[in-house]
Amino acid sequence: MKALECIQNQKYIVSLPLMALVVFAYAQLSFNVERYEHFQLFTYYGIAFLGGLALTHLLKNKLGLLISLAVLIRLLFIKHSPALSQDFYRFIWDGMLTSEGLNPYLALPKNFLETQQIANPEFGRLLVEKMGSLSASNHTNYPPLAQLIYRMSYSISKDVISVHLLFLRGVNWLAEIGIAFYFWKICRLLKLKKYLVFFVLLNPLVILEITGNLHFEAVMLFFFVAFLHHLLRNSSPVLISIFLACAVLAKLIPLIVCPLILTYQFWPQQNRRNFKKSFKIIALTGLFITLGFLSFIDKNLLTAYQSSLSLWFQKFEFNASFYYLFREIGYGLVGYNAIGIIGKTLALSIFCLVIFTSLYKYQNNKGIHFLQRLVYILSIYLLLSTTIHPWYLILPLSVSLLINHKMYLVWSGVVILSYYAYHKAYFEENLWIVFSEYAIVLLLIGCRNLKPFVLLKQKKSRK
């Protein structure tokens, strides 16, 4: 007993300087590091990542201390102006338009002010300049729930950017509290340890992209984790569909789960009853999503929104994996970047593979097996997409922890390398850096000794 107490005390003694080092790293990231300062960014991110993993293991029986650390780190960013992303200027722009009764889905920022009158054109021009030419040249793709939050932000903050940052950050913090709440409920349901959530809450990817860069993944993830909890509990179709619809209305990516829901086994060997409930969930989800878009309905809405979404597979390219390989093959075959053809082919491949994963041995699509299939589906999407921003990993990272999957935890550590493309005066990806990132990821996928990428030992009694 004394030996165990001595070991435990040594853990706490080691954890104190480690906590100080992690807090120091986050302080530097919040105040002194720009995205083109690669050495500082990668160094402090690495310290924060490895330190967070170590502290989660060392203090796994001291949840209060881990919560305090997570809160302290976030408070360091309370006055932080996003340094790794310009997207928040587009958030404010969309909120400005909706608050003035204009449809953000139909407006191209780059020439909107030339044809339309707004209350504060000077502030509008500032936002267009700050959001960057890429964002200003394309329609918005943020769904209605995100637009509602951005509208609320502008109604309160007007042209004071610092107040916008505080409001949006506060919304994300509330969402993270909800994420922890439902994550713990799922852990109890699956007989997992509660401290698993700190692999999310103390992950620098989550902290920098949600608290730092204000990406809406926090709100989406809150509703999605709530949806998972109620699905696993076999709650009513209305409750399940409300949370799923809200997740989609925050970010569109949760739509990818719909084929998997259609084959979910709520009750063993009752296919007709299972399909009836699954169909109700999908139908109600579609109804709620449609209601969410009602206030934006316009004859040009579908064209503008489809144009915006198609860009992700037919124009945009960033930090991709297999796409870059196919692009080089395309250069050799046709002599130019065939992203239009390759992107459509990859999109069709994703659709087919998602359907196959949902239907294959569907009788096993229940509980933990549903979560495993969901991780496979998200992996298919990410590995075949033409554009993978770091914050896209937050959803699969969170779900993968529930099945003791290690790949996304490691990927969240190396994805910071994608910021090497940003330089002070220009943007250019180094494909060797991209190759290094995905070599690690694909090595984990192919490694047979990780059965399959086990992070923590599961209880034998769990099925």
Give pLDDT, residue 455. 41
Instruction: Flag whether pLDDT at 147 surpasses 80.
Output: yes
Percent of all residues in the chain with a pLDDT value above 90, rounded to a whole number: 74
Q: What is the mean pLDDT of residues 213-232?
A: 97
Task: Name the pTM for this structure.
Answer: 0.92
- And the tokens for 16? 């104190």
Give pLDDT, residue 431. 93
- Quick count: other Cβ atoms within 10 Å of Cβ 54? 16
Give pLDDT, residue 461. 40
Q: What is the mean pLDDT of residues 49-77?
A: 95
* C-alpha span between 224 and 240 (Å, rounded): 10
Q: Please, which pLDDT band fits residue 9 given cuts at 50, 70 and 90? A: low
The one-letter code for the residue type at 35 is R
Least trusted range by pLDDT, from 6-15, 25-34, 136-145: 6-15
Q: Do the beta carbons of residue 326 and residue 342 sit within 8 Å?
A: yes
**3-state secondary structure (DSSP) of residue 423:** coil
pLDDT, one tens digit per residue, over 267-286 is 988 889 999 999 999 999 99
What does 292-355 look like in DSSP terms, one character per residue? HHGGG--TTHHHHHHHHHHHHHHT--BS-SHHHHHHHHHHHHHSS--HHHHHHHHHHHHHHHHH
Mean pLDDT of the chain: 90
Give pLDDT, residue 358. 93
Q: In terms of C-beta density within 10 A (0-12 exposed, 13-18 middle, 19 or more buried), how is residue 105 classed?
A: buried
pLDDT, one tens digit per residue, over 421-434 is 999 888 999 999 99
